[in-house]
């Protein structure tokens, strides 16, 4: 069908003719076209992908690895019945080096991914301002001999820099359509679909370059088995120059012999295809591109910005300022929406309790579900803000500068400059951070980074810090300006970083011993981030968090509530009338049974608190959770924790932020209409041990926070590490050593603090 | 290349060293004959920022040492 189309010029900028027939279903099969989108990092691939697919995209992972698999529907021609399936490949510089991303890209192109047919067409994004390097990937893709179209991006930027590109000539030299596009303004999109529909049944021109006589001879020898020239030649080249030897034994021998013969005359024999491709590209570019004259070449905006941002003195200062700004903003801007969400859930709980008859169901809804999930969703604004900043820093290109500035320091502990980005992301959440380590090629460096990523204080720890600091530190000031609370938070972040550095150093000098990793990192031009891309990134990350709150944390809240509520205490021999206790038990949560009735007879206000606490305590003490808490109490007592905190510790191993919802259940902060609901902060402050001394002191709070900085309490992290390292050994090792570190550090904090006279 | 002064235009003559790094550098356009220039060094003297084929690349001195270059004099 596509061959019957009238043929507009390859560089057609005109909008698609309304009269053109809608041909998207594939000619031979009638099914939707599958198009693979490939390109260098920073070439504008994501922007184009978003523009073409709009919101019709889904993000998943490739089987077995965490390389993000993005695909979307693209209608191609207006009014088309079957949209094309657009597969976004990972950003790549080449198809050779053996990183996971490149492996995946090759598998997609060869149709080796389950449920994903080999693409009908490859769409390559080529950055016009960086033509030679971008064409390298295009050259490799051309070698597949598949239908291929090039989308030339950043053409406006190239013009501004005085780079003149003869697009028609370039298309002629490469043998494939080249369509200039400015995705943000939708320029060239229609021409792009036209070119795709016309090209989809034309096999590409294949390999345009030749090797030396000796090498070509070997290629011929390896491809002699089959007469089908182009694909055979490509297969022979892949086998001869690829990192992996072919699986077939006979073929492997042949390849080994061929390599041996070539290396006899030239030790750099493997460089030949690389050089041939660049040689070919240089010749084409020389024909089609007029570079700006030497006089014309002014410093680009990026170079001028970098005079400050990567300056020897100002660069690090700006980096520190940026990080301070990010964290300051997260704490101050987020306060208002956080209060709002808190109030909404509080009101919801109170309304529900007023409207429903007292009983187990009401308690489950209010104390279990609303308190539990609400306690976690409160942190959504902070998480959104952090993701916002990280996305902006990534998309502007500043993250690469941060890696450039930090590399020397990171290498001091044996890490890669590229580890800086994943580690910084881990301040939001270790999961995207760990997933981002896949840009680090060497597995040992990658594993070392993964092992320390959970030490970065993630947003799930913030609720814990926030609660304990609000309860014990926030009112105090140092020098009249800085609050102790802010200092405590900074101290916790620094503790995590320091321990991470030490652990990284130890790992890199023991089990993950390897020479300092190489750093080859592009410093991309600064760009104004695309609003749509930023929004989509934040949205997908935030959704992940909300879904977690709706599933894992909801489930834990319900389970925990049940564990605290059952088995129900029927008699309390050591406290007051059995009737009151039975009433307490009947409602599950003793507070609603007119708690404190008996305690009141004992007069003092403090006694009242204790009476209530005793009754609540009795129920929780005998519950399943209480038994578990008491079981581990001897182990955690040296850290200053009692069994109620033990319950929190146990539940928080699923996810850190559940500590807060656990405490709201354990300390039983159900809203009480008569007396006004005591907040969780007050409940924590007022909690008592059996002997009447406060359960929490500032020292206990610090000890608890130290524990949370260092322990790996996050099921999702464990699951991601399992998937990333493809073994249970690493995640189990991580949980084990982090728990040991947390215990020891907490022990030192509490016992050391007591020796020094703190309480 | 590690000893090339900042701002001097040079041409790559060869890329040696371990094949993984050399391969990556060459894939990114650092091949014999390509003009390169050191733009600056990071605050602690390492890594280097170089300009090649119209874009900027950060590499460490150890990587830069695997690239041999000859300076291009102004007359050329």
For the segment A602-630, the average pLDDT, to the nearest whole number, is 62
Model-level pTM? 0.74
* Cβ(A39)–Cβ(A45) below 8 Å: yes
Q: What is the pLDDT of residue A13?
A: 41
Q: Is the pLDDT of residue A671 over 60?
A: no
pLDDT digits (tens, 9 = 90+) for A320-343: 888 778 767 766 777 788 788 878
Q: Which two tokens stand for residue A396?
A: 């502007």
Which of residues A573 and A47 earns the better pLDDT score? A47
Instruction: Give me the percent of chain A exceeding a pLDDT of 90.
Output: 15
Q: What is the pLDDT of residue A536?
A: 79
Q: Is the pLDDT of residue A227 over 70?
A: no
Average pLDDT, chain B: 86
Residues of chain B contacting residue A42, judged by C-beta atoms under 8 Å apart:
none
Beta carbons of B44 and A408 less than 8 Å apart: yes
For the segment B8-29, the average pLDDT, to the nearest whole number, is 86
Beta carbons of A518 and B60 less than 8 Å apart: yes
For the segment A539-565, the average pLDDT, to the nearest whole number, is 74
Beta carbons of A310 and B40 less than 8 Å apart: yes
Which residue is it, tokens 């060459």?
A: B26
Of A271, A278, A312, the CB nearest to B29: A278
Residues of chain B contacting residue A316, judged by C-beta atoms under 8 Å apart:
43
CA–CA separation, A624 vs A627, rounded Å?
5
Q: What is the 8-class DSSP label of residue A552?
A: I
Which residue is it, tokens 């038990």?
A: A585
Chain-centroid distance of CA A552 in Å reads 18
Among the listed residues A167, A158, A173, the one whose alpha carbon sits nearest the alpha carbon of residue A127: A158
Omega before A567 cis (within 30°)?
Answer: yes
pLDDT digits (tens, 9 = 90+) for A164-189: 899 999 999 999 999 999 887 888 98
Residues in chain B whose beta carbon is closer than 8 A to a beta carbon of chain A?
14-15, 19-29, 31-32, 34, 39-47, 49, 53-60, 62-63
Tell me which of B34, B43, B48, B66 to substitute to probe the interface with A (most A C-beta atoms closer than 10 Å): B43
Backbone angles phi, psi at A148, to 5 degrees: -145, 140
Which of A202-211, A540-549, A703-712 has the lowest average pLDDT? A540-549
CA–CA separation, A493 vs A474, rounded Å?
17
CB contact A520 to B (< 8 Å): yes
Instruction: Give me the percent of chain A exceeding a pLDDT of 70.
Output: 79
Tell me which of A102, A133, A296 to substitute to probe the interface with B (most B C-beta atoms closer than 10 Å): A133
Which of residues A489 and A481 earns the better pLDDT score? A489
> Is 0.90 exceeded by the ipTM?
yes
pLDDT digits (tens, 9 = 90+) for A700-725: 999 999 999 999 887 778 877 887 78
Beta carbons of A408 and B39 less than 8 Å apart: no
Q: Give the sign of the dihedral formed by CA A364, CA A370, CA A376, CA A377.
A: positive
Residues of chain A contacting residue B63, judged by C-beta atoms under 8 Å apart:
518-520
A726: distance to nearest CA of chain B, Å?
23
Question: What is the helix, strand, coil percentage profile of chain A, to 5?
Answer: 60, 10, 30
Cβ contacts from A onto B, under 8 A: 122
HSE at residue B41, side-chain half, CA atoms within 13 A, is 14
Q: Is the pLDDT of residue A12 over 50?
A: no
Of B21, B23, B34, the CB nearest to A96: B23
pLDDT digits (tens, 9 = 90+) for A391-405: 888 888 888 898 888
For the segment A229-237, the average pLDDT, to the nearest whole number, is 78
Q: Is the pLDDT of residue B56 over 90?
A: yes
Q: What is the 8-class DSSP label of residue A224?
A: T
């Amino acid at each position: 069908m596509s061959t019957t189309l009238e043929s507009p010029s390859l560089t057609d900028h005109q909008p698609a003719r309304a009269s053109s027939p809608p041909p998207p279903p594939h000619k031979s099969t009638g099914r939707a076209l599958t198009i693979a989108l490939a390109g260098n990092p920073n070439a504008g691939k994501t922007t184009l992908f978003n523009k073409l697919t709009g919101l019709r995209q889904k993000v998943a992972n490739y089987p077995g690895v965490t390389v993000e698999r993005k695909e979307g529907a693209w209608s191609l021609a207006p009014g088309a019945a079957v949209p094309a399936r657009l597969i976004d490949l990972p950003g790549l510089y080449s198809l050779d080096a053996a990183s996971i991303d490149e492996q995946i890209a090759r598998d997609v192109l060869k149709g080796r991914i389950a449920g994903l047919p080999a693409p009908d067409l490859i769409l390559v994004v080529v950055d016009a301002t960086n033509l030679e390097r971008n064409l390298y990937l295009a050259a490799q893709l051309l070698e597949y001999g598949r239908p291929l179209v090039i989308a030339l991006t950043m053409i406006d930027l190239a013009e501004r820099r005085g780079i003149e590109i003869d697009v028609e000539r370039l298309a002629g030299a490469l043998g494939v359509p080249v369509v200039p596009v400015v995705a943000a303004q939708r320029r060239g999109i229609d021409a792009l679909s036209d070119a795709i529909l016309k090209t989809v049944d034309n096999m590409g021109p294949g390999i345009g370059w030749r090797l030396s006589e000796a090498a070509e001879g070997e290629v011929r020898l390896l491809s002699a088995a089959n007469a089908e020239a182009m694909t055979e030649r490509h297969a022979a080249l892949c086998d001869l120059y690829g990192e992996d030897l072919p699986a077939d034994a006979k073929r492997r021998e042949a390849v080994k012999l061929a390599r041996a013969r070539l290396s006899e005359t030239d030790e750099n024999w493997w460089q030949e295809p690389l050089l041939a491709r660049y040689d070919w590209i240089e010749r084409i570019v020389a024909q089609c591109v007029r570079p700006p004259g030497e006089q014309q070449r002014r410093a680009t905006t990026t170079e001028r910005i970098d005079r400050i941002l990567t300056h020897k003195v100002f660069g690090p200062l700006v980096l520190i300022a940026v990080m301070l700004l990010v964290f300051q903003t997260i704490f101050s801007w987020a306060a208002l929406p956080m209060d709002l969400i808190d109030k909404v859930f509080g009101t919801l709980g109170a309304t529900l309790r007023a409207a429903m008859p007292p009983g187990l169901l009401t308690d489950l809804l209010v104390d279990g579900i609303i308190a539990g999930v609400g306690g976690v969703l409160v942190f959504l604004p902070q998480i959104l803000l952090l993701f916002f900043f990280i996305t902006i820093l990534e998309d502007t290109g500043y993250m690469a500068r941060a890696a450039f500035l930090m590399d020397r320091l990171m290498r001091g502990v044996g890490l890669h400059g590229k580890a800086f980005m994943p580690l910084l992301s881990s301040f939001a959440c270790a999961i995207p951070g760990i997933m981002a380590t896949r840009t680090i090629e060497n597995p040992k460096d990658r594993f070392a980074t993964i092992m320390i990523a959970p030490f970065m204080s993630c947003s799930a720890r913030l609720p814990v810090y926030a609660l304990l600091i609000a309860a014990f530190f926030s009112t105090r000031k140092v020098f009249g300006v800085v609050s102790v609370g802010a200092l405590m938070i900074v101290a916790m972040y620094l503790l995590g970083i320091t321990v991470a550095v030490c652990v990284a150093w130890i790992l890199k000098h023991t089990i993950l011993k390897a020479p300092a990793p190489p750093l080859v990192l592009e410093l991309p031009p600064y760009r104004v981030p695309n609003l749509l891309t930023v929004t989509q990134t934040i949205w997908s990350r935030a959704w992940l968090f909300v879904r977690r709150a709706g599933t894992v944390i909801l489930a834990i809240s319900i389970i925990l509530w049940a564990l605290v509520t059952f088995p129900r205490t029927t008699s309390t021999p050591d406290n007051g009338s059995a009737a009151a206790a039975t009433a307490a038990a009947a409602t599950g949560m003793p507070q609603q049974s007119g708690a404190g009735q008996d305690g009141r007879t004992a007069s003092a206000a403090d006694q009242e608190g204790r009476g209530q606490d005793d009754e609540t305590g009795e129920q929780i003490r005998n519950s399943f959770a209480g038994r578990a808490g008491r079981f581990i109490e001897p182990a955690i007592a040296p850290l200053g924790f009692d069994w109620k905190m033990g319950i929190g510790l146990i539940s928080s191993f699923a996810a850190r932020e559940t500590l807060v919802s656990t405490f709201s259940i354990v300390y039983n902060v159900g809203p009480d209409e008569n007396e006004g609901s005591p907040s969780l902060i007050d409940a924590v402050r007022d909690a008592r041990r059996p002997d009447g001394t406060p359960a929490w002191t500032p020292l206990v709070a610090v000890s608890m926070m130290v524990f949370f900085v260092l322990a790996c309490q996050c099921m999702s992290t464990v699951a991601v590490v399992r998937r990333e390292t493809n073994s249970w050994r690493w995640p189990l090792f991580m949980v084990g050593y982090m728990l040991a570190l947390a215990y020891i550090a907490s022990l030192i904090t509490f016992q050391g603090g007591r020796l020094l006279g703190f309480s | 290349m590690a000893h090339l002064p900042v701002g001097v235009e040079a041409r790559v003559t060869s890329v040696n060293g371990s094949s993984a790094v050399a391969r990556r550098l060459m894939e990114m356009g650092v091949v014999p004959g390509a003009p390169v220039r050191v733009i600056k060094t990071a605050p602690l003297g390492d890594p280097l920022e170089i300009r090649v084929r119209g874009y900027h690349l950060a590499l460490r001195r150890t990587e830069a040492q695997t690239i041999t270059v000859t300076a291009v004099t102004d007359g050329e």
